[in-house]
Amino acid sequence: MRSVSVIGIGETKMGRLKTQTLKDLIKEAGNKAIKDANIEKEMIQALYMGNFNGAYWSTQSHMGPLASETLGLGTIPTIRTEGACASGSLAFREALIAVAAGVYDVVLVGGVEKMTHQATEKITTGLASASDCLCEADMGATFPSLFAMIANRYFHEYGNIRKEMAMAAVQNHENAMLNPNAQMQKLITIDDVYNGFPVASPLTVFDCSLITDGAAFIVIAATDVAKDRGLNRAIKVIGSGHAGSALTLAGKKTITTFESTLKAAEIAYKEAGLTAKDIDLAEVHDCFTITQIINTEDLGFFTKGQGAKGLAEGKTARDGIIPINTSGGLKAKGHPIGATGLSQIYEIVTQLRGEAGERQIKKADIGLSHNLGGTAATCVINIFSGR
Amino acid sequence: MNKKGTIFTYSIVYSASEAFSDKTPYVVAIIENGEGKFLSRIDDYKEEMNIVVGMDVELIDTDTDIPLCKIV
């Protein structure tokens, strides 16, 4: 398989983007990525588009041709990938495989979602479709309630980490203050988290990621092709893993550690020839505060049951040993479902290029992105090297 | 199916989907009954109730396929 690099990135500001249509978001982020790659559109040989629920929230399916026409990409093949909140990373992963296999040299990967124009009940119903409709959603289990059940079980097995969960939200909001693309430019306190609306106990609204409009695009190319064109800002993809587990919470072997993360991480670390110790920073899927803490354990940054302690000790802060979600994460940068995985990659690439401005971390050579879909039923992990 | 079980984990839902918005707050739980685990709602939740992991529950007979348990 050939080495593959990221050669261009682009994203919109995340947030409540009332006046921008899906096409406006695609146009802005897509053209930014193509311009950033410094290539002609004619070089793009395929488009992979991540989108979760355009059909339900925007009555828009067939996202591939929609994006291709919007960006003026002619007759190239397009495909839309769907894996709930991991839809964007799945598009990236499939594009990566195609370029590594030699099918294409240059591919555009995009993700988009528009959510904020819908009422909360319709957002909740749409998100619940990422779980098992008959066995979960139709019985009244909302998406937050599934992760709330994970949190309560975690408390039972490892002790109450309510305070550290709140601290994860506080930290992500601090990071978002330094990210101009973040939706939430506002500091919060631990008390704010405790006193927020109790969406699904023990989670309050401040434990939950945001409802967001946004798009993110990435251009990837065979590393040799990038070198031939003198694209010296290329960031290599050195490891990639994709794994799954049972869709239902009740069907999982364990709910306080995610098997999909363990497996995808094992594959990605092995391919990269690295361990968790070698990672300088990571964007992990903080759909809820409990998820961020579990992810940092599953990825091997902390031993099982010690993730909350690591966070409380500042180890995941921007100046810690393993900075987590320097972008502000899903919690404060925002969670435009289909674009989220690509926005995570946008942050890692920005950091590895040394272009993260005020939030730039000192040692950023190796970065990892971790994206979950559903109740951790899908996991995609990518490892990048800026060396 | 064994109708007696215990709460493996639970959550009290205050923000529901369209179909359940008139039922909040209500409890969803994963029940362990010795044969396996399944998701169920807990009937007749009152704010003063103290739901905990390990609590004994029993399946209620209903005219639907949707499991519903009560605290015993």
Could you state, in order of their start, the residue ranges of all structural domains in chain B? 1-48
Q: Rounded to an integer, what distance in angstroms lies between the CA atom of residue A227 and that of residue A92? A: 21
Is residue A233 predicted with pLDDT exceeding 90?
A: no
Q: Are strands A366-373 and A378-385 parallel, antiparallel or unpaired?
A: antiparallel
Using the structure block, give the residue that is written with the tokens 């215990």.
B6
Average pLDDT for A354-382: 97
Count of other CB atoms within 10 angstroms of residue A68: 23
Residues A98-141 pLDDT 10s: 999 999 999 999 999 999 999 988 998 899 999 999 999 999 99
The residue among A111, A106, A81, A346 whose CA lies nearest residue A220 is A106
Q: Rounded to an integer, what distance in angstroms lies between the CA atom of residue A222 and that of residue A131? A: 36
Residues A35-73 pLDDT 10s: 999 999 999 999 999 999 999 999 999 999 999 999 999
Residues A237-279 pLDDT 10s: 999 999 999 999 999 999 999 999 999 999 999 999 999 999 9
A144 contacts chain B (CB < 8 A): yes
**Chain A residues within an 8 Å CB radius of B29:** 149
Percent above pLDDT 90 for chain A = 96
Q: Is A287 a catalytic residue?
A: no
Could you list the residue range(s) of the whole structural domain that residue A20 is in? 4-118+211-228
Q: Do B38 and A250 touch (CB under 8 A)?
A: yes
- pLDDT confidence of A326, banded at 50, 70, 90? very high
For residue A21, being part of any structural domain is answered with yes
pLDDT for residue B47: 86
| Domain at A96, CATH number | 3.40.47.10
Its ipTM equals 0.97
Q: How many domains does the structure of chain A reveal?
A: 1
Is residue A92 predicted with pLDDT exceeding 90?
A: yes
Q: Do A124 and B38 touch (CB under 8 A)?
A: no
pLDDT for residue B63: 82
User: In this predicted structure, which of A16-30, A193-207, B12-26 has the lowest mean pLDDT?
Assistant: B12-26
Q: Rounded to an integer, what distance in angstroms lies between the CA atom of residue A53 and that of residue A48? A: 16
Average pLDDT for A274-290: 98
CB contact burial A357-375 (16+ within 10 A = b; e otherwise): eebebeebebbbbbbbbbb
For residue A327, being part of any structural domain is answered with no
Amino acid at A154: Y
pLDDT for residue A229: 79
Is residue A232 predicted with pLDDT exceeding 90?
A: no
A197 contacts chain B (CB < 8 A): yes
Upper half-sphere CA count for residue A138 (Cβ side, 13 Å): 8
pLDDT for residue A42: 97
- pLDDT confidence of B64, banded at 50, 70, 90? confident
Q: In what order do the strands lie in the sheet with A46-50?
A: A78-81, A46-50, A106-113, A214-222, A4-11, A235-244, A378-385, A366-373, A281-283
A346 phi, psi to nearest 5 deg: -55, -45
pLDDT for residue A223: 96
pLDDT for residue A231: 72
Q: Is A370 a catalytic residue?
A: no
CA angle A233, A330, A343 (to 5 degrees): 25
The residue among A223, A236, A218 whose CA lies nearest residue A109 is A218
pLDDT for residue A80: 98
Residue pair A259/A374 in contact (Cβ under 8 Å)? The answer is no
Is residue A216 predicted with pLDDT exceeding 90?
A: yes
Q: Do B14 and A136 touch (CB under 8 A)?
A: no
- pLDDT confidence of A387, banded at 50, 70, 90? confident
pLDDT for residue B65: 79
How high does pLDDT run on average in chain A?
97
A246 contacts chain B (CB < 8 A): no
How close is the nearest chain B Cα to the Cα of A124, in Å? 5
Percent above pLDDT 70 for chain A = 100
pLDDT for residue B17: 85
**Chain A residues within an 8 Å CB radius of B62:** none
Q: Rounded to an integer, what distance in angstroms lies between the CA atom of residue A367 and that of residue A360? A: 13
How close is the nearest chain B Cα to the Cα of A339, in Å? 23
Burial class from Cβ neighbours inside 10 Å (0-12, 13-18, 19+) for residue A303 reads exposed
